[in-house]
A and B are shown apart, each in its own frame.
Chain A
Amino acid sequence: MNEFPLLTLVIWLPIVGGIVVLASGEKSPSISKWTALFFAVLTFLLSIGLWIGFDSNTAQMQFVERSAWIPTFNVEYYLGVDGISMPLIVLTTFITIFVIVAGWEVITYKPAQYMTAFLIMNGIMVGVFSALDGILFYVFWEAMLIPMFIIIGVWGGPNRVYATIKFFLYTFLGSVFMLVALIYMYFQSGSFSILDFQEMQLGITAQTLIFLAFLLAFAVKVPMFPVHTWLPDAHVEAPTGGSVILAAIMLKIGGYGFLRFSMPITPDASASLTWLIVALSLIAILYIGFVALVQQDMKKLIAYSSIAHMGFVTLGFFIVFTIAQNPALSSGSIMGIEGGMVQMISHGFISGALFLCVGVLYDRVHSREIADYGGVINTMPWYGAFVVFFAMANAGLPGTSGFVGEFMVILATFRADFWWAVLAAMTLILAAAFTLWMVKRVIFGEVKNDKVAALKDIDQRETFNLAVLAIAVLALGIWPAPLVNVMHTTVENLVVQVTTCKLPSSERSDCVLTHPEPIVAVPNN
């Protein structure tokens, strides 16, 4: 047990900060902005404490805080992080800073409330990543919808009402089934602790139903084909900051859910439904890749690109079941999961940066149409350089973070199945095609019209945002070892868990997983 409630602080500090900013009112926008920035930076610094204090040699939950919340139903305020959730928390607090800075001069309508929404969002998302109690998780999960709903609904584009409702209904539909699954598991295990869920034995029917319930919730968030169509609409209507949070963090929550719930709780069902997830992932990579190619709207294009990249995440996660079932392979399953994790972090940087880039142009010209631009680099050379850099990262160029996850997942997928790897590797061509074609039309060429001719290059504030993200993309690309090392033990443990049969002894003979009998009890706090 950790004495100092660091996680609680990282969750609640930004929420309290948000309330302070809200209370300060709209009278002095500059005070509320600086207050918001202060809380965002302070939260980030505190979350760095998580990284520093993190012991990467154990798979146990760390910074654990546990106390009763609703004793009647054994619901607890139970927090903790491992090597999977901790990097995602740091990513969340990190990205929030850029969102605050990006809204600085652009948001003129009720800036205090805008900042409040993002600060509260920050706290809630950290809560999602650190909750170890099913109900607590669910509360944070649903709470997340409210600020995002408001962000798109209040500061969004002309068609925002359609987009918000679509967004809300989609995600809400998914999560209702998750709640049913959580309650079912509570009745089975007598606890809402996620770690208890992971140790529970379940018949294959129950596992399959639970898996599908979770799948609906997480697939919507990721998003996976065919429940992805809310994302392009939400992105197009969301303000820049909303898009950044959506792409950089919220999508990751779906991926995180697979690792925390679906795979370890229902490994047998996951193994038998691997074909489904792999198929959906490959559709995301290929189908969405082609769809991205023909988008006319820059934000839609990047939104579709996000779906394709998240396809790599789910692919990397689920091939573990195929690899583990192949006795000829000694290893490979860890690389898939680690690759998917690295891809999530990297995509957080890159998609965040790309949406900020679109925001820069939108703030000046108020258009996201590719056709309205051309030759931007002639008037905005520094901006152009950043766009080309992030585009290359999006296309997975080695030396940038975009390469690391893709490379690992392709290497791991090759072990699972040659043809899957062939289809996945098509992303090398597709991602380059849709990203660089946009760059060619928007950035390069002759100055297309008077609006482009009148553009001013990025100011200090925008340069700061893009430069810091560029450094992050480059650093992770040149030296991913620190990130991989921090999650390594956790992933190793996870692989043991997801390859351990969870079927009750009566059904054990049907087990297809590597370890029919539980090997080691998962350490639990």
Chain B
Amino acid sequence: MENVYLTIVLAPLIGAIIAGFFGGKIGRRGAHSVTIVGVGVSAALSLWVLSQFIWHDQPVFNDTIYTWMVSDGIHFEVGFLVDKLTVLMMATVSFVSLMVHIYTIGYMADDEHNWPHGALTGRNSYQRFFSYISLFTFSMLMLVMSNNFMQLFFGWEAVGLVSYLLIGFWSTRETAIFANFKAFLVNRVGDFGFILGIAAVGMYFNSMDYVEVFARAPELANTEVALFGGTSLMTLICILLFVGAMGKSAQVPLHVWLPDSMEGPTPISALIHAATMVTAGVFMVARMSPLYELSETALSFILIIGSSTAFFMGLIGLVQNDIKRVVAYSTLSQLGYMVTALGASAYAAGIFHLMTHAFFKALLFLAAGSVIIALHHKQDISQMGGLRKYMPITWLTALFGSLALIGFPGFSGFFSKDAIIEAVGSSQIFGSGYATLLLTVGVLITALYSFRMYFLVFHGKERMDEHTKHHLHETSWVVTLPLVLLAIPSIFIGWYAVEPLLIDNWFASGNWNPIVVAHEHDTLHHLREHWHGQAAFVQHGITALPFFLAMTGLGLAIIIWWAVFRWNPKIDAQIQAAGGPVTQLLQDKYGFDDFNQRVLAGGSRDLGRMLWLTGDRTLIDGMIVNGSAWRVAHMAQWARRLQTGYLYDYAIAMIVGLIGLLTFFVMF
């Protein structure tokens, strides 16, 4: 199996190298062929391995590929741990990536128009884009397949690098290169915590290997470290690692980079900033469940951060007019749901939502991209409308995606989201009440912003200019095919996956269980005990509060942005105006950006300038270095006078010296 796993990882890398370095020679066709073949091989093999795990009791693989280095007795290795948790991620990542690769052929077809005339960077940009997304696939697979903390960090940063390159892909746009710099820095803040977490693991476990660390974790469960007057070691490790997850999975307050990342081309918004990379934090915490289960403090922390993100970021989605930003805030909110699930120890539900979300959110982004292509790169939803007629496939798939997102009964998102809310509701740890409240109300918000966007884009009067309207038509098959292929799991995957993932604990294979839940944290047990099949779950769901909230949201959206909007197109603006300071607060995004920009970024620059001018320039150079040079010169001026050139002066000096020395020796 080692060769299969190596092929899964290396095929996209090889594609990326060929398309990246020889893009000019092999041309566009060559570049997209080679990368699609690479990722296709990866996806096919991943799905095959998944099927082996489902139907053939595939044994867990945990082995080293090569030893990176050995220092101080700790083996730093590159290796794979492939169990059911991994294989689910591999299949999701490589499948979505393949869809995005195909879609990109259509989306980037006219990319030369995005570059200024004569820019050499625009020459092979198409090939370069394919190289980057394949490189991303490689990095993400390295991350999820890792069997140790060091490689996890490698994958973690490598996806960050590719994200940086892709957000700033259109490097002549000031907004794009601002966004990618910001994204990298904010992620580095997270990584700062993450690397300290890894260092803590290294110190107390003397190992980087997951299995070894997890096995020894219970022994160290009660270890205290002398920090802040005594902290549990596990709390320290878990919170530090989670700070990394907050960066990568864009949790408050490290979420600020994700909306800006929409400056990148839409295919990567779908792949990296919705379906895969941003869920790395969720995957990481689930992978580390044997550690997180040992710290209730860390779990409470996660619960509060996650639910705050889910609710407050969803609210911002209500006032956005850029089609991609609405979806971006929706992604933030949904990531919050996944993270909250982790905090409630419902890791399986978090991973389940990660998977369903990967499909329907990639779908929504790609549908948004399809709209953007049709409208010649206009993204303002107040200038859209009525696209239903012109783009039937995009319209229908987007509708399915939206229904999945709001958790409409039967759609994939329904199962995963309901399971999360139920689990959080039955959690007993600190913060669970707050989280339950926010997640439940969040359902209403989700329905509102999703269908606000849906109606403004696909229904009502066409509000675009005549020229654009004249050219409106459905996008080509390379764009619509991935939409259809993603719509299928968006609708159905929940129905099929809910039972094995949440009820039967499918993740355990043999004596290896990647998702460890302590008995007192088992928030899914209620679901499990009352399980009577999917149909009963749906039936139960439509009598519960979240369903009513979703329907209320949907109903309100229909009334406002469909019914009222027909005779009063200004209704959207009027509602926002009526919101007054609340709208303002949401449009300011609670002031996070301003704070970061002024206080953190500005403050750092001011501090640097101050240290440089007063420390280096004035104190060290001015007073000590140049000052002593000046003093030497001054002293020399004075000493010069001693050298009179007269012999008797020197003779006197010698005699005085001799007397002095003699006195010294005689006396002491």
9-residue interface stretch from A67-75, A144-152, A427-435: A427-435
Q: Known contacts A429-B189, A436-B184: does B196 contact A422 (CB below 8 Å)?
A: yes
9-residue interface stretch from B40-48, B84-92, B603-611, B657-665: B603-611
Q: Is the CB of B203 within 8 A of A415?
A: yes
Q: Is the CB of A479 within 8 A of B121?
A: no
Q: How far does the alpha carbon of A291 sit from the alpha carbon of B614 in the complex, in Å?
A: 11
Q: Is the CB of B195 within 8 A of A425?
A: yes
9-residue interface stretch from B62-70, B355-363, B550-558: B62-70
Q: Is the CB of B200 within 8 A of A414?
A: yes
Q: Is the CB of B171 within 8 A of A331?
A: no
Q: Known contacts A335-B72, A398-B157: does B203 contact A294 (CB below 8 Å)?
A: no
Q: How far does the alpha carbon of A446 sit from the alpha carbon of B607 in the complex, in Å?
A: 29
Give a binary string over A257-286; 1 marks a CB under 8 Å from any B CB, 0 the rest.
000000000000000000000000000000
Query: Nearest CB to that of A413 among chain B residues?
Result: B199
Q: Is the CB of A292 within 8 A of B72?
A: no
Residue A41 is within 8 A (CB to CB) of chain B in the complex: no
Q: How far does the alpha carbon of A421 sit from the alpha carbon of B199 in the complex, in Å?
A: 9
Residue A444 is within 8 A (CB to CB) of chain B in the complex: yes
Q: How far does the alpha carbon of A182 sit from the alpha carbon of B119 in the complex, in Å?
A: 60
9-residue interface stretch from B346-354, B582-590, B615-623, B643-651: B615-623
Residue B177 is within 8 A (CB to CB) of chain A in the complex: yes
Q: How far does the alpha carbon of A33 sit from the alpha carbon of B184 in the complex, in Å?
A: 43
Chain B min CB distance to A383 (Å): 10
User: What residues on B are CB-neighbors of A378 within 8 Å?
Assistant: 116, 118-121, 172
Q: Which of B202, B611, B612 contacts A411 (CB 8 A)?
A: B202
Q: How far does the alpha carbon of A292 sit from the alpha carbon of B608 in the complex, in Å?
A: 7
Q: Known contacts A290-B611, A377-B171, A445-B177: does B69 contact A481 (CB below 8 Å)?
A: yes
Residue A330 is within 8 A (CB to CB) of chain B in the complex: yes
Q: How far does the alpha carbon of A338 sit from the alpha carbon of B195 in the complex, in Å?
A: 18
Q: How far does the alpha carbon of A437 sit from the alpha carbon of B605 in the complex, in Å?
A: 11
Q: Is the CB of B171 within 8 A of A445?
A: yes
Chain A min CB distance to B174 (Å): 6
Q: How far does the alpha carbon of A374 sit from the alpha carbon of B254 in the complex, in Å?
A: 29
Q: Is the CB of A399 within 8 A of B604?
A: no
Residue B534 is within 8 A (CB to CB) of chain A in the complex: no
Q: Is the CB of A479 within 8 A of B66?
A: yes
Q: Is the CB of A287 within 8 A of B611?
A: yes
User: What residues on A are CB-neighbors of B227 within 8 Å?
Assistant: 418
Q: How far does the alpha carbon of A407 sit from the alpha carbon of B119 in the complex, in Å?
A: 38
Q: How far does the alpha carbon of A339 sit from the alpha carbon of B74 in the complex, in Å?
A: 13
Q: Which of B153, B165, B174, B199 contacts A398 (CB 8 A)?
A: B153
Q: Is the CB of B74 within 8 A of A335?
A: yes
Q: Is the CB of B605 within 8 A of A414?
A: no
User: What residues on B are CB-neighbors of A446 within 8 Å?
Assistant: 116, 172, 174
Q: Is the CB of A290 within 8 A of B608?
A: yes
Q: How far does the alpha carbon of A481 sit from the alpha carbon of B181 in the complex, in Å?
A: 32
Residue B286 is within 8 A (CB to CB) of chain A in the complex: no
Chain B min CB distance to A339 (Å): 8
Residue B293 is within 8 A (CB to CB) of chain A in the complex: no
Q: Which of A388, A425, A485 contacts B192 (CB 8 A)?
A: A425
- Which range holds the interface residue count of chain B? 35 or more
Query: Nearest CB to that of A375 among chain B residues?
Result: B172
Chain A min CB distance to B288 (Å): 18
User: What residues on A are CB-neighbors of B503 within 8 Å?
Assistant: none
Residue B625 is within 8 A (CB to CB) of chain A in the complex: yes
Chain A min CB distance to B261 (Å): 15
Q: Is the CB of B607 within 8 A of A290?
A: yes
Residue B191 is within 8 A (CB to CB) of chain A in the complex: yes
Residue A397 is within 8 A (CB to CB) of chain B in the complex: yes
Residue A426 is within 8 A (CB to CB) of chain B in the complex: yes
User: What residues on B are CB-neighbors of A61 within 8 Å?
Assistant: none
User: What residues on A are CB-neighbors of B191 within 8 Å?
Assistant: 428
User: What residues on B are CB-neighbors of A229 within 8 Å?
Assistant: 616, 620-621, 625
Chain A min CB distance to B248 (Å): 14
Q: Is the CB of A287 within 8 A of B177?
A: no
Most chain A C-beta atoms within 10 Å of own C-beta, residue among B120, B157, B608:
B608
Q: Which of A226, A335, A408, A433 contacts B604 (CB 8 A)?
A: A433
Q: How far does the alpha carbon of A169 sit from the alpha carbon of B624 in the complex, in Å?
A: 13
Q: Which residues of A contact B (CB under 8 A)?
A: 166, 169-170, 226, 229-230, 287, 290-295, 329-335, 338-339, 375, 377-381, 384, 388, 392, 395, 397-399, 403-404, 407-408, 410-415, 418, 421-422, 425-426, 428-429, 432-433, 436-437, 440, 443-447, 457, 478-481, 484-485, 488
Q: Which residues of B contact A (CB under 8 A)?
A: 66-74, 116, 118-121, 123, 150, 153-154, 156-158, 161, 165, 168, 171-172, 174, 177-178, 181, 184-185, 188-189, 191-192, 195-196, 198-200, 202-203, 206, 225, 227, 604-605, 607-609, 611-612, 615-616, 620-621, 624-625, 629
Closest 8 CB pairs of A and B: A414-B199, A290-B608, A294-B608, A335-B72, A398-B154, A293-B608, A378-B119, A444-B177
18 extra A-B contacts, CB within 8 A, seeds A291-B615, A407-B195, A444-B171: A290-B612, A292-B608, A295-B612, A375-B172, A378-B118, A395-B188, A403-B157, A410-B199, A411-B199, A411-B203, A414-B203, A422-B196, A425-B199, A433-B604, A436-B185, A446-B174, A484-B71, A488-B71
